[in-house]
Structure 1
Amino acid sequence: MDAIVNDFTINIATANGTGSQSANLILLQSLFNMGIEVSGKNLFPSNISGLPTWYIVRLSDAGYQAPGDRTHIQVLVNPATWEDDLAQLQPGSVVVWNSDAKKPMDREDVISYPVPMTKMARGVNAKLARMITNVIYVGVLAEMLGIDETAVVEAIGKQFKGKASAIELNTTAFHLGRDHAREHLTKTDPYEVAARGSNKGRFFMEGNEAAALGALFGGVQMLAWYPITPSSSLAEGIIGWIPELRTNDDGEATCAVVQAEDELAAAGMVLGAGWAGARGMTATSGPGISLMQEFIGLAYFAEIPSVFWDVNRVGPSTGLPTRTQQSDLQMLYEGSHGDTQHIVLIPGTVEECFEFGWRAFDVSERFQTPVFGLSDLDLGMNRWACEGFTYPDAPMDRGKVIRDRDIFEAMEDFGRYRDVDGDGIPYRTLPGSGMAPILYRGTGHDPYGVYSEKSHIYLDLMDRLRRKIDGARDHLPAPILREEEECDVGIVYFGSMENTIQEIDD
Structure 2
Amino acid sequence: MKTRINDFIVRFANVNGTGSASANYLFAKTIFRMGIPVTPKNIFPSNIQGLPTWYEVRVSEKGYLGRREGIDLMISVNPQSMAKDVQSVKPGGYFIYDSTKKLNPDYERADIHYLGIPMMEMATKAFEDPRKRQLLKNIIYVGALVRLLDMDQQTIRELISEQFEGKKALIEANFQALTLGMEFVEKNYDFPLSFRLEKRNLLENKILVDGN
TM over 0.5: yes
Deviation at 1:186, TM superposition (A): 2.0
The 8 Å contact of residues 39 and 65 in structure 1, kept in 2 or not, is answered as yes
Alignment correspondent of 1:176:
180
Matched residues in 2 for 1:57 and 1:187: separation? 20
Deviation at 1:87, TM superposition (A): 1.8
The 8 Å contact of residues 41 and 55 in structure 2, kept in 1 or not, is answered as yes
- Aligned pairs for 1:36-47 within 5 A: 36-47=36-47
Bigger relative CO (Cα 8 Å, ≥ 6 apart): 2
Q: Which amino acid aligns with 2:127?
A: N
Deviation at 1:61, TM superposition (A): 0.7
Deviation at 1:178, TM superposition (A): 0.5
Aligned CA-pair RMSD: 1.7
Alignment correspondent of 2:13:
13
Alignment correspondent of 1:245:
none
Residue 143 to residue 204, structure 1, CA distance change in 2 (3 Å): same
Any idea what SS the aligned residue of 1:50 has? coil
Computing the radius of gyration over CA atoms, which structure comes out larger, 1 or 2? 1
Matched residues in 2 for 1:39 and 1:86: separation? 22
The 8 Å contact of residues 17 and 49 in structure 2, kept in 1 or not, is answered as yes
Residue 112 to residue 204, structure 1, CA distance change in 2 (3 Å): same
Residue 184 to residue 95, structure 1, CA distance change in 2 (3 Å): same
Alignment correspondent of 2:77:
77
Given candidates 128, 134, 148, the residue that maps to 1:130 is 134
Deviation at 1:132, TM superposition (A): 1.1
Alignment correspondent of 1:152:
156
Alignment correspondent of 1:400:
none
Deviation at 1:98, TM superposition (A): 0.9
The 8 Å contact of residues 149 and 192 in structure 2, kept in 1 or not, is answered as no
Mark the runs of 5 or more structure 2 residues left unpaired by the alignment. Answer: none
- Aligned pairs for 1:184-199 within 5 A: 184-187=188-191, 189-197=193-201, 199=203
Deviations 1:36-81 (A, max 9, x none): 1111001124234110011101100111122222210011111111
The 8 Å contact of residues 148 and 192 in structure 2, kept in 1 or not, is answered as no
Q: Which amino acid aligns with 1:32?
A: F
Higher strand content, 1 or 2:
2
Matched residues in 2 for 1:95 and 1:59: separation? 18
Alignment correspondent of 1:62:
62
The 8 Å contact of residues 33 and 198 in structure 1, kept in 2 or not, is answered as no
TM-score (norm 1): 0.39
Deviation at 1:124, TM superposition (A): 2.2
Runs of 4 or more, structure 1, over 3 Å off, are 198-201
Alignment correspondent of 1:279:
none
Q: Which amino acid aligns with 1:149?
A: Q
Alignment correspondent of 2:167:
163
Matched residues in 2 for 1:189 and 1:30: separation? 18
Any idea what SS the aligned residue of 1:152 has? helix
Alignment correspondent of 1:108:
110
2:26 pairs with 1:26: yes
2:92 pairs with 1:92: yes
Q: Aligned pairs, how many?
A: 208
Any idea what SS the aligned residue of 1:72 has? strand
Matched residues in 2 for 1:203 and 1:77: separation? 30
The 8 Å contact of residues 26 and 159 in structure 1, kept in 2 or not, is answered as no
Matched residues in 2 for 1:45 and 1:161: separation? 33
Deviation at 1:121, TM superposition (A): 1.1
Given candidates 114, 119, 124, the residue that maps to 1:117 is 119
Q: Which amino acid aligns with 1:52?
A: P
Residue 205 to residue 47, structure 1, CA distance change in 2 (3 Å): closer
Q: Which amino acid aligns with 2:201?
A: G
Q: Which amino acid aligns with 2:124?
A: R
Given candidates 104, 124, 145, the residue that maps to 1:141 is 145
Q: Which amino acid aligns with 1:123?
A: K
Matched residues in 2 for 1:76 and 1:41: separation? 16
Q: Which amino acid aligns with 1:54?
A: W
Any idea what SS the aligned residue of 2:109 has? coil
Matched residues in 2 for 1:168 and 1:190: separation? 31
Matched residues in 2 for 1:26 and 1:158: separation? 11
Residue 174 to residue 120, structure 1, CA distance change in 2 (3 Å): same
Any idea what SS the aligned residue of 2:90 has? coil
The 8 Å contact of residues 119 and 140 in structure 2, kept in 1 or not, is answered as yes
Identity of aligned residues (%): 35
Farther-moved stretch of structure 1 (54-63 vs 85-94): 85-94
- Aligned pairs for 1:393-472 within 5 A: none
Mark the runs of 5 or more structure 1 residues left unpaired by the alignment. Answer: 207-379, 382-506
